[in-house]
Every structure is written in C-alpha cells, then in structure tokens.
Amino acid sequence: MHIQDPLLSDLLLRWHVWVVVQMKNDFKRMEDEMDHLAANMAEITEFSARISDTLQDRRQQITQLSGVHTLLKKVAISDYLCV
C-alpha cells in the first residue's frame, strides 16, 4: 500500500514505530514478570522441601512413639493377665 500524502505517510510510520516500541515494552515487562514468577516458585519449592523434611522427622518420631505405646499396652495387658 502506497500513501500519497506525506503527512499521512509520516503519521502512519510514527504509529507503526509506536506499536513496535509498545510491543517491545510489553514483552520486556512480561519477561520480567516471568523471571519474578520463576524466583517465587523456586522459593516456594525450597520452603516446601524444608517443611516436608520437618514433617518427615515428626512422622518418624510419631511412628516410634506409636510402636512404644503399642508395646507398653501389650506389657500392661500381659501384666494384668499374669496378676
């Protein structure tokens, strides 16, 4: 498409340049947001792993205590039956 009017042609060129600049800015902003999101996800993953490790230790302690409790109940029942 060829525009005869130089003023209109200049205006159209400026508009195209503006659109390209806006697209570049939008892309940069989106890239920055994605970087921020990735950093947040990494932080959440690390925090989640620490919580999981803590809970794993607690699970092991509870399993151990449950075993001791079961054993104590058996001993108490056996003592009761032997009396």
In a domain, 25, yes or no: no
pLDDT at residue number 76? 83
Say if 51 falls within a structural domain.
yes
Task: Say what the pLDDT of residue 83 is.
Answer: 61
> Within the chain, which residues score under 70 in pLDDT?
1, 83
Phi-psi region of 41 (alpha: psi -120 to 50; beta: other; left: phi over 0): alpha
14 assigned to some structural domain: no
Structural domains counted in the chain = 1
52 occurs within a structural domain? yes
Is there a domain that residue 7 lies in? no
Q: Is the CA virtual torsion 41, 44, 49, 55 positive or negative?
A: negative
What pLDDT is recorded for position 1? 60
Residue at 23 is within a domain = no
pLDDT score of 78: 79
pLDDT at 26 (0 to 100): 97
Tokens of 78: 């056996």
Does residue 72 fall inside a structural domain?
yes
Q: Does residue 37 fall inside a structural domain? A: no
Range of the domain at 66: 44-83
Supply the pTM of this predicted model.
0.56
